[in-house]
Amino acid sequence: MAIRDGYLWQPQLQPGPLALPKVASNLLPVNGTFLVLGGTGGIGRTLCEHLLRSSQRRVVLLSRRGECPQELGDYAARIDSVQADIADLARWPKVLEQLRERYGHFDGVIHAAGTGAGSLIRQRDAHLLSEAMASKTRGMLAVEALIEQMTPGFVLYCSSMSALFGGAGHLDYAAASAVLDGFAHYRPNGENGCVRLGINWDIWRETGMAAASGIGDEAHQRHLAVGMSAQEGCHVFDAAMTAQLPQLLISTTDLNTARQFYPARHSGAGLTLVDTAPAVAAETGLPERLHGCLCKWLGVSDLDPDDSLYELGADSLTLLDLIDELQAATGVVFQLSQFSHKVSLREVLALVQSAQGDAAAVEDRWTDAVRIDQWHAGADRERLYLIHPVGGDVQAYRELASALHPDLGVWVIADPALRLPELSNISLAERAQLYLDALQAHHPDGTAWRLAGWSFGAWVAQAMCNLLADGCEQPVLYLIDPPAPDAGTELARIDEEHIQQVFQREFSARRILNTAASTASEDASRYLQSLIVCCQNNMASMADHRPSQLPDTKARLFIATRPNPYGVGSAWRMADLQRAWQDLLPQLLSWQPLDTDHYGIVAAPWAQMIAEMINADLPAGEG
């Protein structure tokens, strides 16, 4: 609402088609020079490439790293990369002076910078919230200063539909986008000729922050299915430049449908939790209580105790609600990693029964902390152990585990720091030794075993095999898109911006950010903070580690052929990368390139393809 000239104004959405222009906009001269902020991100990079398809145009790409993205390599001769932090307003005047001296004038400026973050509002740290919004909000102030001094032909503020619809997990992003919307309408006295435009983008299905999020999330996948392609996004950009309206909301569906893609938490969950409570025995009403909650949350009239909750529509949000309910009823805190890929009400009740009577001993040493959780018992002739990725959580393996042969036992090792964030950071080699010790103490004699890991987990699994004593049985090793052998060197130089990108991709890939933000539970927020600590510590442990040669270990390696979303390891050519891993794994059984990126490789259809190869390795009669 706004009061202007004695009138009360209320914004309204006016639907209307956005026709493709028949001629190029006068805002996009064929020989123009354009400044792009956030051009290393998916949408900004796509618009850069679109502008550069006109052979006389130039783009100035401003980012913290000051590097040209690998995807824009074909246009590098017409790209100037400038290193600067648009959120550092104290240094911006000097940067602005250098831009003015070097270029004099920009035909247009695109502000596409931004980071996604989320958590409970009541638990948000004011400083961290401000920093999460900085690239958009302070970047906008930097652009306004540039308008005043350099008068570009236009400024495009790339906003989001979340500014209007909110959405669990998008507090910072939605608020910052709303600020951009306000400035798209800003018309100062003595307007100097710069056209301010704003686009509230719908989801892009091929690129951008949302493209890799919610890998196992059905609602998010439905949203992606109706998202814009990169080509459609470029058409919208051209049409917006022609229409020159101050604010355009681009929705690929009707608005009633669009609102359904912005989740709310289940009503009735999130009871006030207690630190200690007497355990509620299974026979005193807990089964009925959980049954009622699950039916309500899943929208079903009844469920069998053996029904898979995932098949009924549950996701990580539902399971964190379930964890809240369990703690409220029993006083026991459960972890997501304890729920298998086929978790059912019966499995949950069995976990409660197992936890009752356990001593509440404080695990203050790493040797006490490692826990191996069973996801699927199998026939106990063969076991597969899955090692967590860099974020510490193991839910990313759910699609892979679901496609494995039923006779194969599946066990997982989540990062102990998720439960015990006070644990000190350790080296990757020390972690591998602790995991191996726990596995050997846990693994039954006479049962064959296999070891698999994705991302950071692949390095840990490889290191575990390296630590096996001579004469010990070597498992078959499955490495799922491991970092390049020299990635530690790159990680030692990685900046805060790229670390934040890793956080976002790791957590949004399992809807953890959305979950923590939309769940009225301190446990959910603490879990998110534990994920962040795990990610930081595990990345730090990779910086001084290099995989060793395994002369006697049979292995299969699955590699994503699309560029790593946050750039680490992108310097390797695929043929060189294959030779490097072949040198480290002389017994390599197969090198399987898959046409996806680092996060897509653990989702359908690639997870099923990997599972099929694991199944094929099982002895006759099982696979």
Span 4-21, pLDDT tens digits: 777 777 777 888 777 777
Per-residue confidence (pLDDT) for residue 570, from 0 to 100: 56
Per-residue confidence (pLDDT) for residue 39, from 0 to 100: 78
3 state DSSP class of 501: helix
Per-residue confidence (pLDDT) for residue 568, from 0 to 100: 54
pLDDT at 115 over 60: yes
Last residue in a domain, options 234, 259, 284: 259
What single DSSP character describes residue 77?
G
Percentage of the chain exceeding pLDDT 90: 38
> pLDDT tier at 282 (50, 70, 90 boundaries)?
very low
| Domain match, 327 and 390 both | no
Name the residue range of residue 39's domain. 13-259
Span 528-546, pLDDT tens digits: 677 777 888 888 899 889 9
Please enumerate in sequence order all residues whose Cβ is within 8 A of that of 614, keeping only pairs 6 or more positions apart, or say none. Answer: 384, 404, 408, 450, 452, 478
Per-residue confidence (pLDDT) for residue 476, from 0 to 100: 96
User: What integer is the mean pLDDT of 29-54?
Assistant: 91
| Domain match, 228 and 275 both | no
| Domain match, 387 and 472 both | yes
Selected residue with higher pLDDT from 486 and 263 = 486
Nearest in space to 131 (alpha carbons), one of 500, 526, 604, 402? 500
> pLDDT tier at 259 (50, 70, 90 boundaries)?
confident
In sequence order, the β-bridge partners of residue 382 are: 408, 448
User: What integer is the mean pLDDT of 413-419?
Assistant: 90
* Separation of alpha carbons 105 and 99, rounded Å: 9
Per-residue confidence (pLDDT) for residue 518, from 0 to 100: 43
Tell me if 385 is assigned to some domain: yes
| Domain match, 386 and 349 both | no
Nearest in space to 416 (alpha carbons), one of 310, 307, 533, 328? 533
| Domain match, 107 and 249 both | yes
Selected residue with higher pLDDT from 191 and 104 = 104
Per-residue confidence (pLDDT) for residue 521, from 0 to 100: 46
| Domain match, 226 and 288 both | no
Per-residue confidence (pLDDT) for residue 254, from 0 to 100: 84
> pLDDT tier at 119 (50, 70, 90 boundaries)?
very low
Nearest in space to 464 (alpha carbons), one of 455, 480, 451, 473? 451
- Tokens 């006016």 belong to 14
Tell me if 90 is assigned to some domain: yes
Tell me if 106 is assigned to some domain: yes
| Domain match, 378 and 426 both | yes
pLDDT at 562 over 50: yes
Nearest in space to 143 (alpha carbons), one of 81, 64, 196, 208? 196
Per-residue confidence (pLDDT) for residue 340, from 0 to 100: 83
Tell me if 40 is assigned to some domain: yes
Nearest in space to 458 (alpha carbons), one of 420, 491, 484? 484
> pLDDT tier at 223 (50, 70, 90 boundaries)?
confident
Per-residue confidence (pLDDT) for residue 283, from 0 to 100: 43
Selected residue with higher pLDDT from 370 and 22 = 370
3 state DSSP class of 320: helix
User: What integer is the mean pLDDT of 37-43?
Assistant: 83
Tell me if 3 is assigned to some domain: no
Span 165-212, pLDDT tens digits: 776 556 777 888 888 888 888 877 656 689 999 999 888 887 755 554
User: What integer is the mean pLDDT of 512-525?
Assistant: 47
Tell me if 401 is assigned to some domain: yes
Residue 145, domain CATH:
3.40.50.720
Least confident among 262-276, 287-301, 412-426, 440-454: 262-276
Last residue in a domain, options 360, 382, 402: 360
User: What integer is the mean pLDDT of 219-246?
Assistant: 86
Length of the chain as a residue count = 623
pLDDT at 520 over 60: no
User: What integer is the mean pLDDT of 589-599?
Assistant: 93
Report the C-alpha dihedral over residues 35, 504, 133, 249, rounded to 10 degrees: 70
Tell me if 621 is assigned to some domain: no
Per-residue confidence (pLDDT) for residue 156, from 0 to 100: 95
Residue 595, domain CATH:
3.40.50.1820
Is pTM beyond 0.75? Reply is: no
Number of domains in the chain: 3
From the number of C-beta atoms within 10 Å of its C-beta (0-12, 13-18, 19+), residue 621 rates as exposed
| Domain match, 452 and 588 both | yes
> pLDDT tier at 500 (50, 70, 90 boundaries)?
low
What is the average pLDDT value for the chain, to the nearest integer?
A: 81
Please enumerate in sequence order all residues whose Cβ is within 8 A of that of 480, keeping only pairs 6 or more positions apart, or say none. Answer: 452, 453, 454, 455, 457, 458, 558, 601, 602, 610
Residue 295, domain CATH:
1.10.1200.10
| Domain match, 255 and 280 both | no
Per-residue confidence (pLDDT) for residue 505, from 0 to 100: 56
| Domain match, 487 and 531 both | yes
- Cβ 184 vs Cβ 240: under 8 Å: no
Per-residue confidence (pLDDT) for residue 515, from 0 to 100: 44
Last residue in a domain, options 259, 285, 311: 259
| Domain match, 216 and 289 both | no
Selected residue with higher pLDDT from 549 and 192 = 549
User: What integer is the mean pLDDT of 355-382?
Assistant: 72
| Domain match, 276 and 252 both | no
Tell me if 4 is assigned to some domain: no
User: What integer is the mean pLDDT of 581-609?
Assistant: 94
Per-residue confidence (pLDDT) for residue 177, from 0 to 100: 85
* Separation of alpha carbons 184 and 28, rounded Å: 18
pLDDT at 141 over 80: yes
Nearest in space to 40 (alpha carbons), one of 601, 501, 489? 501
Please enumerate in sequence order all residues whose Cβ is within 8 A of that of 150, keeping only pairs 6 or more positions apart, or say none. Answer: 96, 99, 100, 103, 104, 105, 106
Span 316-334, pLDDT tens digits: 778 878 888 887 788 777 8
User: What integer is the mean pLDDT of 568-587?
Assistant: 85
